[in-house]
Amino acid sequence: MRLSQLHRPVVAAASTGAARPAAPRLLQDAFAALRIRGAAPANTTANVNVEGRRYASVKSQGMYRLRDSATIPKKMGAKKTGDSFVIPGNIIYKQRGTIWFPGENVGMGRDHTLFAKVQGYVKYYKDPLRHPDRQYIGVVFDKNDTLPTPPHAMRRRKLGMTATEVKAAPALPELSPSGIPNQVVREGFGRAPHPRDQRVYKLQQDGSYSYREENWRLGSLIRTEKRKMGSRRVAMRHRRRKSKAILLEMRRDREDKIARRKEALDEQRAARQKRIREYLARQKASKTADGSVGSPKQSPPTVQA
Amino acid sequence: MSSCQRVARPITRSLQQSHVSHISPFALGRAFSQSAARKDEVPPSTTSAPAAEPVPSPASTAASPSEPKAPSGVDRDTVTAYWAERRLIKQGTPPVGSRRRRAAIKTSENIPFEQLPYQAFQEARKILQEDRQEKLRALQSTLASIKKLEETPADQLPGGERKKNMRLTSLRAHVEELKILADINDPIVKRKFEDGLGDMNKPIYRHLAEKKWRGYPFRLITQRIEQLNIVPDVLPKFEPTVDVQMYFRQDKVEPGEILPSLVTEKPPRLKVQVFNSGERLMSVVVMDSDVPNAETDSFDRRCHYLAANVPISPDQPSLPLSKVNKETQLAVPWLPAFSQMGAPYHRLSVFILEQKPGETLDIAKLKELYSARDGFSLKSFRDKFGLNPVGFNIFRTVWDEGTAGVMERAGVPGANIQFKHKRVYSLKGEKKQRGWEVKRQKPKYKSLWKYTHRIRGLPRYKGRKLD
């Protein structure tokens, strides 16, 4: 139907007040026939067209409404009604913006979707003490519980966990059934190697007789965390810590070197003293032997080939 | 160049000039070692007359040493070396102020305020002195009117006894206010407070300390009380009025920090700073409000430490929990904080409760009531003994590598218990499996079994090989 056609009865109604021309008589008659009540006086004919109206009982159902086929339906709204049972992660309400706010035991996603955080029953409520106008959705453990909880009352909490006993893992035997060690530990370098430099190689259980570091140990070799780029103060602290660590390491190395040198010297000294002791013992033995023979004069020690 | 040095530069310059021009180095040194403002040993008292202008007397100058030295021979006012600072801290006489400030003092001459060559500064000091005089006069007149009012019988006054009492309380509050106002603009008082040398028995230093506490620490602790749900869980209503700091192994911990269990094995040292005068008795409670209970599927509470009748005064804030008297103060000894594997974090709150004035708690009764530790309720403890919770601090604990050892040493069983989340089953029904492979599991498609994998949940038909 064109727009001009739609306007026609209105135009007609307007024109009836003034002079009634002969041309639209036909239309007038047609409307008059449609009228339920009898012919009205001339001054009320303006309302007549509006009065005779059908109710939108069919169209109100949305049957004939044109959907916008160019967009995807967003499917907003309540996914769970009040008192319905939910488990953690269940979506309760989808919305644009915060029409509803997350109340007790309810979380909000980054698109303002409300979801349950515990197992329980959904409650829609208002909490004027928390905020005068906001409406909240909460989840309670017991269906008969009400929200909001009274102020200063203890929170209702559930553990939601089970206690299990941890069995200690059986200790790995020293040797594998084939007679080779189950793991090889390689220490770091130096006199006092840092435990950080320790490497543990485990015998593979796949029958390949190869040794390999565990993945978590390999992972610990890599520094994944980034230094927090914050203030200059933080940077300075890091710098200081680093230089201090280097200093300590150098000192440790130096001490290590000194200790090694000392050890070597001690060894030398011990060897020398041992030689002297042996020499003296030999002397004594020869002296006693000579004494028994009867020659007190002792010749200076001579190197014997 | 630091601000201190920048400020001090013109002085040092002028001093150097004057030094070369006419004053002998000996005389100069003596004049400045006087330094009344620096070592201002005259305490800023509220009732006494204002500190008189220092009259340098050579005898007293010669008698007094130039600086108070620590026992180690390191000066705590000018120390800048790390090792020396550490030594001073170990000796219990921590260095004064910041390192930058100490360095500035070390490099600049020690000039008292009276001799500083800044005219505007000296004029301002005069104004402040006048203001102080005014406040002191007001204080004297208020004290006189209080005395007069106290002596007058109530029936001779308009309003009778009630009005008289009201007036007296308001006058006394005014006196306290004037005591603070008389000293609040004194630069020496300010410096002493910032150096941590203020006498907490004096109202001005207590006022400054409270102001400082209300700035950040109070807001932090109230936020922790709210965020960690201490208020509905442990007490229905609570507002701290006392500063409580907690030190584990000499390290101060922030409220609410998650601490390693090895650190919390030994009881902490508390620093309880009260902001009103007088000594009072306090009770100390450390409680865990998150003890998991798998049978009832809920959380219990446990008392980790309970002591009572601990005297606390503004100048005696230190309260080491391990040093309380075993007979007269300790009711429940320290139990290390621990958490089992997988359990959510435990909140261990430290409460300081003020006892009624002049009342001591019966330790034997406390021992009898709370030795079991489990099911401790702070609310009931408070109500039973008429206590007022005033101070609060908190730390948290979770399972870590050291916890098993800590529990073993404390004789607590349950280190081998792990908590796991209960399985929550989906509300949706089982869905029938679909697909080409599923369809060809049956013996009808025996010829295709070599091309299909076995699917979990479906029966293995006879004749099908393991794969």
CB contact under 8 A, B424 and A157: no
Same domain, A47 and A82: no
> Do the domain assignments include residue A241?
no
Task: Note whether A45 and A84 are same-domain residues.
Answer: no
Nearest CA in chain A to B419: A163
Q: Whole-angstrom distance between the N-terminal and C-terminal Cα of chain B?
A: 79
Of A90, A153, A163, the CB nearest to B232: A153
CA B110 to chain centre: 34
A261 in the same domain as A212: no
In which band, very low, low, confident or very high, does the pLDDT at A28 lie, cut at 50, 70 and 90? low
Domain termination site, one of A99, A131, A151: A151
Q: Does residue A15 lie within any of the structural domains? A: yes
Give percent of chain A above pLDDT 70: 73
Using the Cβ of A153 and the Cβ atoms of chain B, whether some distance falls under 8 Å is answered with yes
Residue range(s) defining the domain that contains residue A197: 183-217
Question: Is pLDDT of A14 > 70?
Answer: no
Question: Does A162 fall in a domain?
Answer: no
Listing DSSP states for B5-22 in one string gives HHHHHHHHHHHHHHHHHT
**B421 and chain A in contact, CB less than 8 A:** yes
Which of A23, A22, A24, A15 is closest to A42 using CA atoms?
A15
What span, in angstroms and rounded, lies between the C-alpha atoms of A49 and B363?
A: 95
Of B319 and B41, the one with more pLDDT: B319
Read off the pLDDT of each residue in B397-420 and give the average, rounded to a whole number: 95
Contact A159 B299 (CB under 8 A): yes
Residue A133 and residue A95 in one domain: yes
Identify which has the larger pLDDT, A187 or A12: A187
Q: Based on the domain organization, do A45 and A85 belong to the same domain?
A: no
Q: Per-residue pLDDT for A9 more than 60?
A: no
Predicted pLDDT of residue A297: 54
* A71 touching chain B per CB within 8 A: no
Quickly count: other Cβ atoms within 10 Å of residue B312's Cβ.
23
Q: What is the ipTM of this complex?
A: 0.71
How does pLDDT run across A112-146, given as a tens digit for each residue? 999 999 999 999 999 999 999 999 999 999 999 99
Q: Do A159 and B293 touch (CB under 8 A)?
A: yes
- pLDDT on residue B176: 94
Residue A291, pLDDT > 80, answer no
Percent of chain A beyond pLDDT 90? 51
Q: Least CB-CB distance to B232: which of A155, A160, A166?
A: A155
Contacts of A154 in chain B (CB under 8 A): 232-233
Average pLDDT in chain B: 85
* A19 within some domain: yes
Does pLDDT of B19 surpass 60? Answer: no
Do A136 and A85 lie in one domain? The reply is yes
pLDDT in tens, A150-199: 989 999 999 999 999 998 888 889 999 899 999 999 998 877 788 888 99
How many C-beta neighbours within 10 Å does residue B309 have? 20
**Total tally of structural domains belonging to chain A:** 4
pLDDT band at B298 (very low <50, low <70, confident <90, very high): very high
Q: Mean of the pLDDT values across residues B391-416?
A: 95
pLDDT above 50 for B52: no
* Nearest beta carbon to residue B236 from set A152, A160, A165: A152
Q: What is the pLDDT of residue B61?
A: 35
**Residue A157 resides in a domain:** no
CATH assignment of the domain containing A81: 2.40.50.100
**Which range has the worst mean pLDDT, A78-92, B221-235, B432-446?**
B432-446
Please tell me the predicted confidence (pLDDT) of residue A142.
95
Residue range B194-218, pLDDT digits in tens: 888 899 999 999 999 999 999 999 9
Instruction: Tokens for A15, please give them.
Output: 């024109």
Instruction: Let me know if B393 is exposed, middle or buried by CB neighbors in 10 A (0-12, 13-18, 19+).
Output: buried
Q: What is the DSSP string of B47-95?
A: SSPPPPPP---HHHHHHS-SSPPPTTS--TTT---HHHHHHHHHHT-PP
**Confidence class of residue A105 from pLDDT cuts 50, 70 and 90?**
very high
A240 in contact with B at a CB cutoff of 8 Å? no
How far does the CA of residue B420 sit from the closest CA of chain A (Å)? 5
> Is A188 a domain residue?
yes
Q: The whole model's pTM is what?
A: 0.69
- Check whether B297 has a pLDDT greater than 70: yes
Nearest-by-CA chain A residue for B299: A159
Is A42 within the bounds of a domain? yes
Average pLDDT over residues B272-290: 95
Residues 269-328 of B with CB under 8 A from A: 292-294, 297-299
Cβ contact A87–B426 (<8 Å): yes
Query: How far is C-alpha B147 from the geometric centre of its chain's CA atoms?
Result: 39
Higher pLDDT, A117 or B9: A117
Segment B90-94 shows an average pLDDT of 84
Q: Which H or E run includes B122?
A: helix B119-151
The residue of B418, B425, B428 whose CB has the most chain A CBs within 10 angstroms, and thus the best one to mutate to test that interface, is B418
Smallest CA–CA distance, residue B341 to chain A, in Å, is: 9
Contacts of B296 (CB under 8 A, 6+ apart): none
Q: What is the mean pLDDT of residues A63-73?
A: 77
- Which of B228, B416, B423, B425 to probe by mutation at the A interface, max A CB count within 10 Å? B416
Contact B229 A168 (CB under 8 A): no
User: Does residue B31 or residue B77 have the better pLDDT?
Assistant: B77
Does the residue A89 lie in any domain? yes
Q: How far is A222 from chain B (nearest CA, A)?
A: 22
Is the peptide bond between A148 and the residue preceding it cis, with omega within 30 degrees of 0? yes
